[in-house]
Amino acid sequence: LQQCRGLSLSAPAAIQVTVRDALNQALDEELERDERVFLLGEEVAQYDGAYKISRGLWKKYGDKRVIDTPISEMGFAGIAVGAAMVWLRPVCEFMTFNFSMQAIDQVINSAAKTCYMSAGSIAVPIVFRGPNGASAGVAAQHSQCFAAWYGHCPGLKVVSPWSSEDAKGLLKASIRDDNPVVMLENELLYGVPFEMSEQAQSKEFIVPIGKAKIERPGTHVTLVAHSKPVGHCMEAAAVLSKEGVECEVINLRTIRPMDMEAVEASVIKTNHLVTVEGGWPQFGVGAEICARIMEGPAFNYLDAPAVRVTGADVPMPYAKILEDNSIPQVKDIVFAVKKVLNI
């Protein structure tokens, strides 16, 4: 009938949403959906969050659901873990994951190990979230990537979003999960707009934990990254495409459990592998991927050794020119691809 009247029945178009707004939507929707969900952290309530992720939530849900804490990560992380043990669903924000070192005893010894040590009788449904890795001009004490640290620990799930859909879908999945989840965001992505599909605009949209996404199909080399470096890989792939090299870009999305099936399938197709991360090289995410490729069925398909592109093996300098040389850039990825392809 609507078609007869000349009205369109087409689905709503995709919209542009920043990562900040996607996270805010996810928190709002989950606070509304489940009264057990609450948010706590430094400045998350009256100030609307240090990065405005929780903008408007305190006014909407009040003091019992959005809670400002003292500057004491060990204290408020412990409160959150205790709340999770009695089946509340806290979302614990660290102003930066560098400060989570103050609370690592709570994250690992209290949250990650409890389900195992209680023979499965005590679940700890908690999300630890906040910005991770390098921002801009914040020097060594605010720039470390903790993907390898937390990815090392059984009992945790670790997610690392790139796009707005990643951010919204992974946060909602993390809040609904009965395990402790560490969500490693990136401060420099908060204000970046990404296209969000009609499906992702739904209140029931989630991104399954443990599933990678092929952001760009290709045939010559596999690029694997997480968080902000995914964007660098997409830029490098566009540059290399003009030279006849087609890169397959895999957005890991999840660090633990890692979707090695997706990586292996891509390497079997392209016969080459480059991993990209902002963290340090030693014992890093790329090192783990390379080791598991070597131990698995994809190894026999490699036509050249895998190459890692990582942050420099130094504490982050403050000066911008030194900072730029300590973090993987597009040119570094292009160089690595040409190295692995011997061109």
- Residue 7, in any domain of the structure: no
Q: Which amino acid is at 335?
A: F
Instruction: Say yes or no to pLDDT of 8 above 50.
Output: no
Same domain as 152, residue 224: no
CA distance 302 to 337: 14
pLDDT of residue 13: 79
Instruction: Say yes or no to pLDDT of 11 above 70.
Output: no
Looking at the structure of the chain, the number of domains it has is 2
Same domain as 303, residue 262: yes
CATH number of 100's domain: 3.40.50.970
pLDDT of residue 205: 96
Q: Which residues are catalytic?
A: 73, 142
Instruction: Say yes or no to pLDDT of 41 above 90.
Output: yes
- Residue 2, in any domain of the structure: no
Same domain as 37, residue 161: yes
Average pLDDT over residues 275-288: 98
Same domain as 274, residue 161: no
pLDDT band of 14, cuts 50, 70, 90: confident
- Residue 5, in any domain of the structure: no
Domain finish residue from 176, 201, 226: 201
pLDDT band of 10, cuts 50, 70, 90: low
Same domain as 217, residue 194: no
Same domain as 225, residue 79: no
Same domain as 222, residue 189: no
Same domain as 228, residue 145: no
Same domain as 298, residue 275: yes
Q: Which amino acid is at 168?
A: K
- Residue 92, in any domain of the structure: yes
CATH number of 322's domain: 3.40.50.920
Domain finish residue from 177, 201, 225: 201
- Residue 8, in any domain of the structure: no
Backbone angles phi, psi at 71, to 5 degrees: -80, 75
Q: 229-241 and 330-341 are packed helices; what angle lies between their axes, rounded to 10 degrees?
A: 60
pLDDT, tens only, 184-214: 999 999 999 999 999 999 999 999 999 999 9
pLDDT band of 136, cuts 50, 70, 90: very high
Average pLDDT over residues 278-297: 97
Same domain as 45, residue 129: yes
As a whole number of angstroms, the longest Cα–Cα distance in the chain is 67
Instruction: Say yes or no to pLDDT of 3 above 60.
Output: no
pLDDT of residue 175: 98
Give bridge partners of residue 250 from the DSSP assignment. Answer: 214, 224
pLDDT of residue 5: 46
- In sequence order, what are the residues at sequence separation of 6 or more whose Cβ sits closer than 8 angstroms to the Cβ of residue 117? none
3-state DSSP helix/strand/coil % of the chain, to nearest 5 = 40, 15, 45
pLDDT, tens only, 301-327: 999 999 999 999 999 999 999 999 999
Average pLDDT over residues 151-168: 98
Percent of the chain residues topping a pLDDT of 70? 97
pLDDT of residue 1: 40
Give the up-direction half-sphere exposure of residue 3: CA atoms within 13 A in the CB hemisphere: 2
pLDDT band of 109, cuts 50, 70, 90: very high
Same domain as 289, residue 174: no
Angle, CA 168 vertex, CA 84 and CA 203 arms, to 5°: 90
What integer best gives the mean pLDDT of the chain? 95
β pairing state of 213-216 and 193-196: unpaired
- In sequence order, what are the residues at sequence separation of 6 or more whose Cβ sits closer than 8 angstroms to the Cβ of residue 7? none
Same domain as 220, residue 184: no
* Residue 309 near residue 317, CB atoms below 8 Å: no
CA distances from 249 to 118, 147, 196, 240, 266 (A): 40, 19, 19, 12, 9
Domain encompassing residue 324: 213-341
Is 151 in a helix, a strand, or coil?
Answer: helix
- Residue 206, in any domain of the structure: no
DSSP 158-216: EE---SHHHHHHHHHHHHH-SS-EEEEE-GGGTT-EEEE-TGGGSTT----TT--EEEE
Percent of the chain residues topping a pLDDT of 90? 96
- Residue 101, in any domain of the structure: yes
Angle, CA 77 vertex, CA 74 and CA 79 arms, to 5°: 105
Instruction: Say yes or no to pLDDT of 2 above 50.
Output: no
- Residue 48, in any domain of the structure: yes
CA distances from 213 to 127, 151, 161 (A): 22, 19, 11
Domain finish residue from 166, 201, 236: 201
* Residue 184 near residue 133, CB atoms below 8 Å: yes
pLDDT of residue 6: 46
CA distance 299 to 288: 14
Average pLDDT over residues 319-340: 96
